[in-house]
A and B are shown apart, each in its own frame.
Chain A
Amino acid sequence: MSRPGFVLEVDRSTPPILFHHGEGFRLEKLPAGSRVIYPAEPVAPLKDPDAAIRHALLNPVGDSQPLPSLLRSGMKLTIAMDNQAVPLPPMQQPDNRQRVIEIVLDMAAAAGVDDVELIIAHGLHRRQTEPELRHMLGDRIYDSFAPHGMLTQHDAEDHDNLVLVGRTEQGEHVELNKRAVTSDLLIYVNVNLVAMDGGHKSTMTGISSYRSLKHHHNVTGMQHSRSFMDPPNSELHNSTWRMGRLLAGAVKIFQIETTVNTDTFPSQFGFLQKREWEWSARDRASYLATSKSLDRVPPRIARSIFHGIKSPQKMTSVQAGEVEAVHKLTLENVHKQHLVPVQGQTDVLTMGLPYVGPYNVNSILNPLLVMCLGLGYFFNLYRGKPLVRKGGVVILSHPTRWEFHPVHHPSYIDFFEQVLTETTDPLEIEKKFEEDFATDPWYIHLYRNSYAYHGVHAFYMWYWGAHALQHVGQVIIVGGEPRAVRRMGFKPASTLRDALEMAEDVVGRNPSITHIHNPPIFLADVT
């Protein structure tokens, strides 16, 4: 039985608390009276995931027939799936997607379906490399489909292969991958890491175009998503739900969603998922050995060590059938693992940012991604009210080096150099610069033919933090490279103590402090 998450009240006897710090860690002594929110321990995984998948496919929820009765010889079947942005870190093989798709294909083979295409629904993300695809899908699926061109990566700029399904009453364009929309059956396979993922958002971001995405990936939408981790109160989800319902009226969709537990790090990094006072001698030794050796190796080497981590996350549930009915169950299962009740907001919110976010698998967590991970994802991991009060301070801990992956994030470099030097206001950025970047032929070329994120993706990173930027009074980055931190309009600090002192200038003396001990991930239920 896993223990639930809880809020620790720090007193003088509390040991130093672990902060993630990019490709490293810090132990920080928090002032007495601070709170630390600990995630729940990993919930028990499914004993026999394959049997659970079969059961879900044969007993779908909502208005859907069992999968075998939807399959027939001569039909056109498309299986779309989440890309490697989830789960994080990438999970040890076999990935949930491999397990599910192999069983789906077994059923398709039994029904005599020949025309099958697999689509990686990565929206405006970069294409995945062959080793990344093999890791995610396994060699069997890759070798069966990729050589025949039947395993494709969605191309949001291939206008010949996009089709406008229609427009919602609010005028939102629903423009999606042609193969998916013209199939007799579209099966979507999801891995739900956080409450934001899944549901209609899967198709509406994964296999759509810029024209479609900009209806929900925009500053106003983000500022009205309180938070985007809580779908009923998220404008992002309202929009994707409207658009998704339009699609569901045009195409038969069979949604398969899976959840994973928070068994995030392998045993050699076991101390990262333990409460500090429960660290054994082995944990302490591995912490010391790891952090000391990481301090001594160049960041490039440390990064490659960390990106080699494959998480032992396991499937905790699988549900299939009609999109909304499926997603309701998925959210319940995600909440079982993630929800931690927290009472009251805080003046100062501290967080240690790890080496990886959804957009830098096998890549660099550049300053824009630091902002997105801290002010976008971690800030929004709440339900009810934000953890930090209006006008409060957020303190991030991350090296925030002025460093970008030139292949994966080319438009980020220009965004950092050209856009942020003029303004950091998301609304102004959106108005003045977005269109140029989104339609720049060079970025489009790199997105389609290299391994680059789309030109507009850097903007989305900034928009992801728009709600936080509007809400907080100041952002401080501990240990960050000063010029990179200042470029984003934040303040650098060398130590947490300095940062807390600087925060007092904004929120007053003796502020309340809350630290989120994340990852492993949780969702604060703030009342």
Chain B
Amino acid sequence: MRVTARFPLGKPNWPSSVPRPPVERRTGVDYETDWARTHAARLARAVIVDDVLRPVLHLIASPTVHGEDRLVGLEAPAIFVANHHSHLDTSVLLTSLPDRFRHKAVVAAAADYFFTTRAKGAMSALAIGAIPMERTKVGRRSADLAAELLEDGWNLIMFPEGGRSPDGWGRAFRGGAAYLALRCGRPVVPLYLEGTGRLWRRGKTWPKVAGKGEGVHLVFGSPMWPEDGEDARRLAARVEQAVGALADEWSTDWWSARRRAAAGTTPALTGPSGGAWRRAWALDATASSRSGRRSWP
């Protein structure tokens, strides 16, 4: 039985006739991250990323970067968009983007996952420069913040699938990155991440260390500018196709991938439809000949 002290020793009741003032939420999408973009916080983040994340990542994931030359001549800010398989993805991007982008980058992170408590939010904002992004409902606040930052010269890293892959296949891209590209007139850089899901897939508490030939790979695509009259949905679809073509390029070669892209036969990131086992089975068939490993059984 719960014993409560009576007022004035205990808490008073709120009279039902008096409306309660709205509670000021300070978590989730309302978490303020301005402090994490001050010079002091950026310096701390640079130390964390370069002196902690990078060595750890190299130890467990040995990331290799391909196609960085495609970014030659591209000026910041830009929106970097990648497929999403693992918590390692952000670290790979933050340590692999060219310096002119990564030292002034924010990561769009799920408000309902990384910002559920103030401590988690502070950690995310400081360590990876996370900004809260609404993913369960349409809200202006996170879009306005991202647009404001882009206009202010910050590069934005986004995972438009809206979360890590549950089964190793990709999911349809949402339109947020494309909307921001159109709104701010900045390019989207498609990226393809390969192998992070193998090391730390969704549902696992700890990552495993990459064995020989199991390192992760990041493939840069060519920057994509919105075309005349293009809307966010079309641009998002183009970006998704571009990431798919990068995946194809990774698993075969660039020329074959270009031919399939031109013919409209690039394999979709989302994989085949059908039962779960068939999707898992088909996943093995996409394993690159370069990695020399099978993901199944």
Residues of A with Cβ closer than 8 Å to B?
Answer: 48-50, 93-94, 98, 105-106, 109-112, 114, 116, 138-141, 143-145, 147
Distance in angstroms from A131 CB to nearest chain B CB is 15
Q: How far is the CA of A114 from the CA of B263 in the complex (A)?
A: 12
- Given A112-B263, A143-B253, A144-B253, verify A138-B69 contact (CB < 8 Å): yes
Contacts of A116 in B (CB 8 A): 255
- Interface membership of B9, Cβ < 8 A: no
A140 touches B73 (CB 8 A): no
Q: How far is the CA of A244 from the CA of B260 in the complex (A)?
A: 36
Nearest-neighbor residue (CB-CB) of B68 within chain A: A93
Which B residues from 24 to 75 make CB contacts under 8 A with A? Answer: 66-67, 69, 72-73
A93 touches B261 (CB 8 A): no
Distance in angstroms from A111 CB to nearest chain B CB is 8
Interface flags, B257-276, vs A, CB<8A=1, else 0: 01101110000000000000
B256 touches A94 (CB 8 A): no
Q: How far is the CA of A143 from the CA of B261 in the complex (A)?
A: 17
B255 touches A48 (CB 8 A): no
| 21 cross-chain CB contacts under 8 A | A48-B73, A50-B222, A93-B69, A93-B72, A94-B69, A94-B72, A98-B69, A109-B255, A109-B259, A109-B262, A109-B263, A111-B262, A116-B255, A139-B66, A139-B67, A140-B67, A140-B249, A143-B253, A143-B254, A144-B254, A144-B256
Q: How far is the CA of A24 from the CA of B67 in the complex (A)?
A: 34
Nearest-neighbor residue (CB-CB) of B289 within chain A: A147
A105 touches B255 (CB 8 A): yes
Contacts of B261 in A (CB 8 A): 109
Given A106-B262, A145-B255, 11 other A-B contacts at CB below 8 A? A48-B73, A94-B72, A106-B258, A109-B258, A109-B259, A109-B263, A112-B259, A139-B67, A143-B254, A144-B253, A144-B255
Q: B interface, how many residues as a size bin?
A: 10 to 19
Nearest-neighbor residue (CB-CB) of A106 within chain B: B258
Contacts of A111 in B (CB 8 A): 262
Q: How far is the CA of A360 from the CA of B282 in the complex (A)?
A: 50
Chief secondary structure at chain A's binding surface: helix
Distance in angstroms from A90 CB to nearest chain B CB is 14
Q: How far is the CA of A110 from the CA of B255 in the complex (A)?
A: 11
Q: How far is the CA of A140 from the CA of B248 in the complex (A)?
A: 12
Q: How far is the CA of A93 from the CA of B70 in the complex (A)?
A: 10
Contacts of A94 in B (CB 8 A): 69, 72
Distance in angstroms from B31 CB to nearest chain A CB is 39
Q: How far is the CA of A111 from the CA of B258 in the complex (A)?
A: 11
Partner of B262 from the list A48, A49, A110, A139 (CB cut-off 8 Å) is A110
**Cβ-closest 10 pairs across A and B:** A144-B255, A140-B254, A109-B258, A144-B253, A109-B262, A110-B262, A94-B69, A109-B259, A144-B254, A93-B69
Contacts of B66 in A (CB 8 A): 139
Distance in angstroms from A40 CB to nearest chain B CB is 23
Nearest-neighbor residue (CB-CB) of B261 within chain A: A109
Contacts of A144 in B (CB 8 A): 253-256
Q: Which of B256, B258, B261 has the most CB of A within 10 A?
A: B258
Distance in angstroms from B220 CB to nearest chain A CB is 11
B254 touches A141 (CB 8 A): yes
Which B residues from 201 to 260 make CB contacts under 8 A with A? Answer: 222, 249, 253-256, 258-259
Q: How far is the CA of A48 from the CA of B72 in the complex (A)?
A: 10
Distance in angstroms from A138 CB to nearest chain B CB is 6
Q: How far is the CA of A48 from the CA of B74 in the complex (A)?
A: 9
Q: How far is the CA of A138 from the CA of B255 in the complex (A)?
A: 12
Distance in angstroms from A447 CB to nearest chain B CB is 29
Q: How far is the CA of A139 from the CA of B256 in the complex (A)?
A: 14
Contacts of B67 in A (CB 8 A): 139-140
Nearest-neighbor residue (CB-CB) of B259 within chain A: A109
Partner of A114 from the list B72, B253, B254, B259 (CB cut-off 8 Å) is B259
Contacts of A48 in B (CB 8 A): 73
- Given A109-B261, A110-B262, A112-B262, verify A141-B255 contact (CB < 8 Å): yes
Nearest-neighbor residue (CB-CB) of A46 within chain B: B73
Nearest-neighbor residue (CB-CB) of A150 within chain B: B255
Contacts of A110 in B (CB 8 A): 262
Q: How far is the CA of A145 from the CA of B258 in the complex (A)?
A: 13
Distance in angstroms from A362 CB to nearest chain B CB is 20
Q: How far is the CA of A110 from the CA of B262 in the complex (A)?
A: 5
Nearest-neighbor residue (CB-CB) of A145 within chain B: B255
Q: How far is the CA of A145 from the CA of B72 in the complex (A)?
A: 23
Contacts of B72 in A (CB 8 A): 93-94
Contacts of A112 in B (CB 8 A): 259, 262-263
Nearest-neighbor residue (CB-CB) of A107 within chain B: B262
Q: How far is the CA of A109 from the CA of B262 in the complex (A)?
A: 6
Q: How far is the CA of A35 from the CA of B69 in the complex (A)?
A: 42
Distance in angstroms from B196 CB to nearest chain A CB is 21
Contacts of B253 in A (CB 8 A): 140, 143-144, 147
Contacts of B69 in A (CB 8 A): 93-94, 98, 138
B73 touches A49 (CB 8 A): yes
Contacts of B259 in A (CB 8 A): 109, 112, 114
Contacts of B256 in A (CB 8 A): 144
Nearest-neighbor residue (CB-CB) of A140 within chain B: B254
Contacts of A145 in B (CB 8 A): 255
Q: How far is the CA of A340 from the CA of B255 in the complex (A)?
A: 43
Partner of A105 from the list B73, B222, B258, B263 (CB cut-off 8 Å) is B258
Distance in angstroms from B261 CB to nearest chain A CB is 7
Distance in angstroms from A163 CB to nearest chain B CB is 26
Contacts of B249 in A (CB 8 A): 140
Q: How far is the CA of A106 from the CA of B66 in the complex (A)?
A: 19
Q: Which of B255, B258, B263 has the most CB of A within 10 A?
A: B255
Distance in angstroms from B27 CB to nearest chain A CB is 44
Distance in angstroms from A525 CB to nearest chain B CB is 33
Q: How far is the CA of A79 from the CA of B253 in the complex (A)?
A: 18
Distance in angstroms from B99 CB to nearest chain A CB is 15
Q: How far is the CA of A6 from the CA of B263 in the complex (A)?
A: 54
Q: How far is the CA of A46 from the CA of B261 in the complex (A)?
A: 28
Contacts of A98 in B (CB 8 A): 69
Nearest-neighbor residue (CB-CB) of B72 within chain A: A94
Contacts of A105 in B (CB 8 A): 255, 258
Q: How far is the CA of A109 from the CA of B258 in the complex (A)?
A: 6
Contacts of B262 in A (CB 8 A): 106, 109-112
